[in-house]
Structure 1
Amino acid sequence: MTNTFDPAKLQTALETVHQAGMPGIFAEVRDNNETWRGAAGVADLATGRPVTPDMRHRVGSITKTFTAAAVLHQVDLGTVDLDAPIGHYLPQLVPGERGAAITVRMLINHTSGLTDFLPYAYSSLAGFPDPAKMTPESLDDNRFTRFDRTELIELGVSAPAAGTLGGTPGVYSNTNYLLMCQLLELVTGTSAEQAITRDIIERAGLHGTELPLGTEIHGPHALHYEAWFGMIDPPRDFSVFDMSWTGPAASLISTVADLNRFFGLLLAGEIISESSLAQMQHTVPVIAFDGKTIDYGLGLQKLTMPGGGTYWGHEGSVWGGGAMSMTSADGTRQMSMAVNLQRWNRLDATGRPQPHPIDAALQALTQLALG
């Protein structure tokens, strides 16, 4: 049973997140036929320009649900087999025994054992880099770096394995989804961005959503402030950024309204077949970047609320931008929200993020919106 739909309380919850230290936050909550949109705080700390609910925003790994849906659309068409080895499709990128053992399914649900390329890419692409060199300065250094997708995949495949191949818990890795992009390009004969746009974004009627090829966010948007666990103080804006470092693993720009529309259609079986949707909703435990274990399907996270309600969706983070979109199992309640500050927690002596008032305020908002 979800909470009573109360727009005034939802707005107060947004204001509380802002007062806890979040520059700006905006959201859309849907309850059956009722829709509420709200915002609190600023899009630009220097000018005081306010955030608004219709703003476009980088939504990070929510992109993975779109990419997974595009792959499952190809499963529906018969061009991809979930249980075929990736080496069957992309032998040059995942050669030998690993290519023969890692299946498409293992890539989409993060049980492939392939390491995330990101720390290696952001330290160096010359020789085999040292991931410890990934620093706040490297964000500035790579703001306009155009990364090659196959080079990034090679970094992840060459790195020491993360987790056990095919075993659980899986380990969350962007390398898996860059391989899915290459698979899409192979079977569609077009770029992954074009395939996802044609088969998912346009079919769902998402007019504020795109996979960018440039560095800008077009249209009304908030600046994206990155704090890097207190090491960037004051936080700096990284809304202008070349997203080739992640591509269609985390580069999507969208709106909270579009996210709710997409997940509503997806979970109603209107984007992919019912059988493919059932595959998406078969979860395994996966260790996320923050060390927490999540229930993860094929590009879908399962969230069980304290009151027992089940929600499906995804969270996402990029430099300075964060988002979350969740839809109840019966489709009657939805919440999508976006924030314009990331890694606000400072680290303790062991390197673990310390609690911050923003954490509790976001948790209270989620509990209120989803019940």
Structure 2
Amino acid sequence: MRRAFGATFLAGMFLGLAACVSGPSQQQVELQAMADGFLTENPDVPAVALAVIDAEGQLAGAAAGEAGPDGESMTPAMPVRIASNTKTYVAAAVLRLWEDGEVDLDAPIGGLIDPELAAMLDGDGYDLQAITVRHLLMHVSGMPDHADDAYVAIVLDDTSRQWSRADQVALLVENHDPLGPTMSEFRYSDTGYVLLGDIIERTTGKPLATSVRTLLGFERLGLETTWWEQAEAQPAGTAPRARQSLEGTDTTDWNPSMDMYGGGGLVGSVEDLAVFWAALMRGEIFARPETLEEMVSAPGHPFPEDYRLGVFPRGEGDSEIYFHGGFWGTIAGYSPAQDVAVAGVVTDQAGVRNLAAIVMEMLTPTEAE
């Protein structure tokens, strides 16, 4: 739990950001104090980084702690594995294809996914003529998650294993049965986004990494420290990835294929995360404003309080915000009321709940607004 310092300091910083009374340099000072204070309150976390884009489009970032065993200082430009934050990028890529008439959100997935994957799922009782692309995006396909505690145990047993998309779907089939009819239950499912990654590849005829990069315009947005691990080379001039850990266990050198096919896979800095979220929510990625509205409202979702299309919601009405998190300790989101994007990372997953509390408080509008 955060102590009084966190809440008190955060309130002051939040008002400064919302009112835009302080320039970028002042925001930088305030963010740095927040990062330093976070490490004081969370001594088991090696490093933290934060980035904010305010309503004027000014980017401010700060970090504290060591990013590696050799004492390298953490920075907000240092790449990290963003894990499930990748889902927002994947959902946006699917929606770009929908804009272009290349994908029907309400089409059954049976004819869209690799026949090998379809055969496995069909043989386990999944109705591939009932499950649609939209169902996968909303996590209401009736499909559980292959990436459960048992999966983590398998990965821990051999962290160098090279996983394929088919391996992960096979694990789902082996360990889980369908939950029930589509739309009957919200169940967060990495497997569903692994299938969406396959649909993107088969629709574009290009690798997932290339497709997402092109559809979302990484270069145009200036996402210079974002790439798809293993599938793309690390961009020249970027810092080495910060070392990330799972409650003290260093996971940096684990084979990235464990989480690489659409449920996760991207590496990026918190600065890039904030830039992406601001661009996405300000309508700079989609060709039509209706597409962004489709993403954030998810018409027809039976559980709209739980998820939309690639984003989590929180609050309601004018106070609603959108966000996503990643297993290794990242969280990013956007407040429409403030027109502010925030992203953060802790380099040990043990600190992610406390980080999330700070980021969510930064995004939540105050009564004065």
How would you bin the TM-score normalised by the shorter chain?
A: 0.7 to 0.9
Q: 2:335 aligns with which of 328, 331, 334?
A: 328
In the alignment, is residue 224 of structure 1 matched against residue 236 of structure 2?
no
Which ranges in structure 2 are unaligned for 5 or more consecutive residues? 1-10, 18-25
SS of residue in 2 equivalent to 1:302: strand
Q: C-alpha separation between the residues in 1 aligned to 2:170 and 2:92?
A: 24
- Deviation of the 1:60 alpha carbon: 0.9
SS of residue in 2 equivalent to 1:171: coil
* 1:194-214 superposed Cα distances (whole Å, 9 cap, x missing partner): 111221233433111100116
Q: 1:32 aligns with which of 40, 55, 59?
A: 55
Shift of the 147–260 alpha-carbon distance from structure 1 to 2, 3 Å rule, reads: same
Q: 2:319 aligns with which of 304, 309, 315?
A: 309
SS of residue in 2 equivalent to 1:11: helix
* 1:300-356 superposed Cα distances (whole Å, 9 cap, x missing partner): 121339x97322231111xxx311111112462111111100146xxxxxxxxxxxx
Shift of the 26–85 alpha-carbon distance from structure 1 to 2, 3 Å rule, reads: same
Which ranges in structure 1 are unaligned for 5 or more consecutive residues? 120-130, 228-234, 287-292, 345-357
1:314·1:325 contact (CA, 8 Å) conserved in 2? yes
Identity %: 27
2:78·2:241 contact (CA, 8 Å) conserved in 1? yes
SS of residue in 2 equivalent to 1:295: coil
- More moved, 82-91 vs 1-10: 1-10
2:139·2:189 contact (CA, 8 Å) conserved in 1? yes
SS of residue in 1 equivalent to 2:128: helix
Shift of the 26–271 alpha-carbon distance from structure 1 to 2, 3 Å rule, reads: same
Tell me the TM-score normalized by structure 1: 0.79
- Deviation of the 1:41 alpha carbon: 1.5
Q: 1:55 aligns with which of 53, 57, 78?
A: 78
Paired position in structure 1 for 2:139: 110
SS of residue in 1 equivalent to 2:213: helix
Paired position in structure 1 for 2:22: none
In the alignment, is residue 13 of structure 1 matched against residue 34 of structure 2?
yes
- More moved, 326-335 vs 99-108: 326-335
- Deviation of the 1:369 alpha carbon: 5.8
Q: C-alpha separation between the residues in 2 aligned to 1:215 and 1:142?
A: 23
In the alignment, is residue 83 of structure 1 matched against residue 106 of structure 2?
yes
Letter of the 1:10 partner, please give it: L
Aligned length: 327
Q: C-alpha separation between the residues in 2 aligned to 1:205 and 1:36?
A: 15
- Deviation of the 1:294 alpha carbon: 6.1
Structure number with higher helix proportion: 2
In the alignment, is residue 279 of structure 1 matched against residue 297 of structure 2?
no
Q: C-alpha separation between the residues in 2 aligned to 1:275 and 1:365?
A: 27
Letter of the 2:89 partner, please give it: F
Shift of the 254–132 alpha-carbon distance from structure 1 to 2, 3 Å rule, reads: closer
Q: C-alpha separation between the residues in 2 aligned to 1:83 and 1:59?
A: 29
Shift of the 48–145 alpha-carbon distance from structure 1 to 2, 3 Å rule, reads: same
Tell me the TM-score normalized by structure 2: 0.79
In the alignment, is residue 340 of structure 1 matched against residue 347 of structure 2?
yes
RMSD: 2.9
SS of residue in 2 equivalent to 1:26: strand
Q: 1:296 aligns with which of 273, 295, 307?
A: 307
